Amino acid sequence: MYKTLASLLLSGLALLNLSGCASTSGPKQTRAVYHVNTDVNTVPAILNNIRNHYNAAPQDKIVVVTHGPGINFLLQDAKDSQGREFSGTVGDLASKGVEFRVCNNTLVTRNISPDRVVMEARIVPSGVAEVARLQAQEGYVYLKP
């Protein structure tokens, strides 16, 4: 009787372990913060990097933090020197869960109304402080494309 009970317990534990393995298998989520502080002419390549990242690892949490000239592509009607707009790509990435954050210090220093920031972006008090916070407190890896 003890042998049968022990067998049943071991079988049950084995099943629990197998089901636990099945539920935890699969791609793990990485948290990545993309730091953008360069002008709009660098943004098409940066957005392409972010799109490639998302396509390769859609489970990842991606946050784009901007400050200085890096905020320009997140202003309404923004275009690069070749006339390419960013709103379509930003909207597409945002619909997939990519978050965009704009530095309020930059807005204030440059006297830009918060109303000019695209609706897909959130304003944070400081871009550099947000990058540091995401890394130190939330475990994000830092990417500077």
Task: With CA atoms as reference, report the closest residue to 101 among 71, 65, 134, 135.
Answer: 65
Exposure string (b/e) for 78-97, b if CB count within 10 Å is 16 or more?
A: bebeeeeebbebbeebbeee
42 phi and psi angles, rounded to 5 deg: -90, -15
pLDDT value, residue 119: 97
pLDDT value, residue 22: 45
pLDDT band (50, 70, 90) for residue 5:
very low
- pTM: predicted TM-score of the whole model, two decimal places: 0.82
pLDDT band (50, 70, 90) for residue 25:
low
pLDDT value, residue 6: 45
